[in-house]
Structure 1
Amino acid sequence: MITRKLSEVARMAEGSVPDLFGEVEIQGVALHPDEVRPGCLYIPLSESQGDKREMAEAAVRRGASAMLREAGHMEEYPGQIPSICVEDAKAALLKLAAAYRKELPVRSIAITGSDGKSTTRDVVATMLATTYKTFQADGGVERPLTDLACAILRMEESTEMAVFELQWNAHEDLAEQARFVRAEAAIITNVGETQLKLLGSRREVAAATMKVVEGLLPGSLLVYNGEEPLLREMLALADKPEGLLTYRFGSTEEADIYPIAIMNELEGTCFKTNLPTTSYFRVPLLGLHNIMNALASAALTKYMGVCDQDAVTGMNSLERVYTRLVPMYTRSGAVIFNDSLSATPTSMKAAIELLKELSGYQRKIVVLGDMADLGPDEVRYHKEIGAMLTAPEIYKVFAYGTLARHIASEAGKGQPPGRVKWFQEKAELIDAVAAEANAKDAILVKGSRMLGLDELVEVLTGV
């Protein structure tokens, strides 16, 4: 984390500090009293909720060494703590982080796209960590630059690689975010339906996503989904940095990197690529969509200098996250594939296709909830999901939520009577699924985070 004297911090943040406090040293920053650690710099932002003076006093009690004070609001802060005076605390935070980032020799990577960002970030970071001291962070949705600034200031000065997940924001676009972290490589996972409510169409989603290219340093690498025509179109229109290299991943020979052999196992997927190596990759994730994320990660980390054997070792050591279709067992012996913290039409279709392809189960059951923020076509998207569930591989459908009613109504057109049920109350849903689940069942649970379907998983598994 950042460790500097206040005189240096004031210079970096373009503030002023009395000579009396210039030699005071800070270690790290905190934006809220609850985050304060002894020796850190407390930075109260104007957007923070609560009494500013009480919060500042709490930060002092928790051991803050110094704080930023906004000119014109000095009376809101206690006087017994060394301080730097700035015009605007958020602007000063961003300047401090930008200056610190420029001082570090770290190489930055940006991960963005509609679906699979967090998974891809984790895979890339795990693979890089076999060779380099690696840091990873999420830029956040509501205030991405603020979150990225805090992440940068947490980085150790010895960090060699930094992997940042960038989130689209209407006020702080991906070009600005990539420029802020000084990214020299980026992955665009795909173009889905995320942010349709605000952007209006997949074409606009693609345009907003491709903005990341404009923020890359000269000579950077872009790894992108070559099977998405909208990305190809937007790349041609983008204001690209000089010397940009591009690399496409996909499932066919039209891509620069693609799988030539795939073996599915309950605990993960093994695959080999077309690249000149005899090694098989193994990723503890299921589904073709996760193979695509792994391919992008393999291409980028190879470019960043990770050798083939370390790449294989790193991917295989990825920590399993039980909200990414990792199998879990219920008390009755059924297997649950939990993906309950996010849902878009693209990711839901991929999860259903995975369930249909699995072998060794007597019955396959889906528990699906609403997909949020899809804009005016939200009903159509839910009906499309329901139409997929008329396939004979699907034994039973449980739908939960206002919009999921359209999933149920469409699925009911092709399923036998009694095989599709819709619920308004979560408790009733949990009771029904618990009563249905038997050994040798495979159960997919997926829906938007706001529905809290992870509660269902906790009840059934006891985890």
Structure 2
Amino acid sequence: MLDLTLEEISIAINGHFIKRNKDEHFVKVSTDTRKIEKQSIFFALRGENFNGNNYIEEAVKKGASVCIVDEERAEFANLQCNIIKVLDSKKALQALAKYYRNKLGLKVVGITGSNGKTSTKDILAAILGEKYSVFKTKGNFNNDIGLPLMILELDRSIDIAVLEMGMSNLREIHLLADIARPDIALITNIGLSHIENLKSRENILKAKMEIVDYFNEENTLIVNGDDDLLKDVISEQYKIIKTGLDKYNDLIASNVTLFKDHSEFEVMGEDTKFNFSLPMLGKHSIQNCLLCLQVGKLLGISMKEMNDGLNNIEATSMRLEIIEEEKITIVNDCYNASPSSMKAAIDVVNNIAENRKVAILGTMRELGDESLKAHTETGLYAKENNIDLLLCCGQYSEGFKTGFEGENCIVFDSKEELINSLKDLIKEKDTVLVKASRGMKFEDIVSELRKIIL
């Protein structure tokens, strides 16, 4: 239930009433009439190919009790609904979320980084859930519309909101930080994602660091100190804590052991070491986990409670999901792809596979001038790290082939052609990695692999 009055909403978004009735009951916020529920506040957003003001009548029919519009139309007068006019519906949504976050006064942890944001969010929510009532960003609702919608799902039963913050250019996280005002911020790493827009990793770092634009001495930034750019971050305005596998970090994992279905490591506590078991794979997952353990320490959660919390991770699907079929093992990592996450996934395959290792890779997008080089280096990494067969399709697949070299790299003209060849190429007991940027929808390949009868 939203803890807001109609008057508060109007003031927060600097709007005026076109129509007002006695219905002041609202429980949710929506921007999509296809999913709207009764007693919702509907924001009529605009996009390149749509205008939410055209759907006000439909929203009211489906039960919206408040509509926020940025056009004034004669037909609105006949609707049985509160209608508030603003200059810009999207900015109004953001303003209401900022007001609401401030009103609730709960603690907010913001997470950003080139890779690992969602996995880190899942780990942190599980750890904090041992002691607090926690809300975490759903799916990839981490942009200038998604984040406000997440904040407007909160209520007074929540102690801590774990909010993911994404970006594709400068000033975007600055806006999100203004809305969410995180008390603690985490940065997972600085990779090549969005280098097409930002041109350099240094600019990507600058964009990610916008998460601290509203920080003061009461706030804490926690970064992956193993990252070559993040390890040098300093500030006199707020606290910085660095975590990782390198001995120079403030919180360090030692005695790391990687198993087929989990990872184990030790962390030094106040006066003793504690053994952690993380049901995720790869060293990168341990680096993400350390960020979360540091948050737990700041918020008074014991080492034992945090380790117990790791057993309750609710992981987002298609991120290094191990699927044990009767005759093959599939590593489903189809959610997204970047050079660093490709290499991390290949490392995982190396760690869990007992027989032949196959990688099915697709395009890594938004790498700009670095695209061909990044695909070539990924192909070389696969070759040097024991991938036996590389199957690829999509743009820059020739880069994969150049890096991998040899006849055990096959480039297909289309995803469909690759799928049709799976039955002839995949063998019993293979471990098969499937990974590409989200738009390639490589989960279709995973579905076909699961149907193969060898």
Tell me the residue number matched to 1:307: 302
Amino acid of the structure 1 residue aligned with 2:341:
S
Aligned residue in 2 for 1:337: 331
Of the three residues 360, 368, 373, the one matched with 1:375 is 368
| 1:122 correspondence with 2:116 | no
Equivalent residues in 2 for 1:370-409, closer than 5 Å:
370-391=363-384, 393-409=386-402
Q: How does 1:261-300 map to 2 (within 5 A)?
A: 261-276=255-270, 277-300=272-295
**Paired letter, 1:315:** L
Using the TM superposition, give the Cα deviation of residue 295 of structure 1 relative to its aligned residue in structure 2, in angstroms. 0.9
Describe the shift of the 1:441–1:87 C-alpha distance in structure 2 as closer, same or farther (beyond 3 A): closer
Q: How far apart, CA to CA, are the structure 2 residues paired with 1:76 and 1:377?
A: 52
Counterpart secondary structure, 2:379: helix
**For residue 5 of structure 1, what is the aligned residue in structure 2?**
5
Tell me if structure 1 keeps the 8 A contact 2:187–2:224.
Answer: yes
Distance, in Å, in 2 between the alignment partners of 1:389 and 1:443 is 13
* Deviates most, 399-408 or 6-15: 6-15
Q: CA deviation at 1:47?
A: 3.4
The yes-or-no answer on 1:226 pairing with 2:225 is yes
Bigger mean CA deviation after superposition, 452-461 or 52-61: 52-61
Partner amino acid, structure 1, of 2:382: L
Say if 1:269 and 1:282, in contact at 8 Å, map to a contact too: yes
**Is the CA contact (8 Å cut-off) linking 1:369 and 1:399 kept in structure 2?**
yes
Displacement of 1:139 after TM fit? 9.5
| Alignment map for 1:358-373 (pairs within 5 Å) | 358=352, 361-373=354-366
1:23 is displaced (CA, Å) by: 6.4
Structure 2 vs 1, CA of residues 438 and 261 (structure 1 numbering), >3 Å: closer, same or farther? same
Q: Structure 2 CA distance, aligned partners of 1:185 and 1:252?
A: 22
Aligned to 1:427: 416
1:327 aligns with: 322
1:197 CA drift (Å): 0.3
Change (3 A) 1:327 1:47: closer
Q: Give the superposition deviation at 1:438.
A: 2.8
Percent of counterpart pairs with the same letter?
Answer: 26
In structure 2, the residue matched to 1:167 is 166
Change (3 A) 1:65 1:103: same
Structure 1 stretches lacking a partner, 5+ long = none
Q: In 2, are the aligned partners of 1:145 and 1:172 still within 8 Å (CA)? A: no
Once the two structures are TM-superposed, the CA of residue 63 in structure 1 deviates from its matched residue by 0.8
Question: Please, what is the CA RMSD of the aligned residues?
Answer: 2.5
In structure 2, the partner of 1:189 is: 188
Aligned to 2:311: 316
Gaps spanning 5+ residues in structure 2: where? Answer: none
Number of aligned residues = 450
Q: Secondary structure at the match of 2:230?
A: helix
Q: In structure 2, the residue corresponding to 1:34 is in which secondary structure?
A: coil
Query: What amino acid is the match of 1:208?
Result: A
Give the alignment of 1:15-26 within 5 angstroms. 15-17=15-17, 21=21, 24-26=24-26
- In structure 1, the residue matched to 2:208 is 209
Local SS of the residue matching 1:183: coil
Specify the code of the residue in structure 1 equivalent to 2:440.
L
CA distance in 1, matches of 2:346, 2:51: 49
For residues 34 and 20 of structure 1, what CA distance do their matches in structure 2 show? 24
1:184–1:217 contact (8 Å) kept in structure 2? no
TM-score, normalised with respect to structure 2: 0.91
Note if 1:108 corresponds to 2:108: yes
* Counterpart amino acid of residue 255 in structure 2: A
Q: Which residue of 1 aligns with 2:31?
A: 31
Note the alpha carbon deviations across 1:374-422, whole angstroms, 9 max, x for none.
111211111111222333722211122231221113212xx4xx42211
Partner of 1:354: 348
Query: What is the Cα deviation at residue 362 of structure 1?
Result: 2.0
- 8 A Cα contact 1:111 1:188, kept in partner: yes
What corresponds to 1:77 in structure 2?
76
Question: Equivalents in 2 of 1:119, 1:407: separation in Å?
Answer: 27
Give secondary structure in 2 for the equivalent of 1:399.
strand
Local SS of the residue matching 2:186: strand
Residue 259, structure 1, aligned to residue 228, structure 2: no
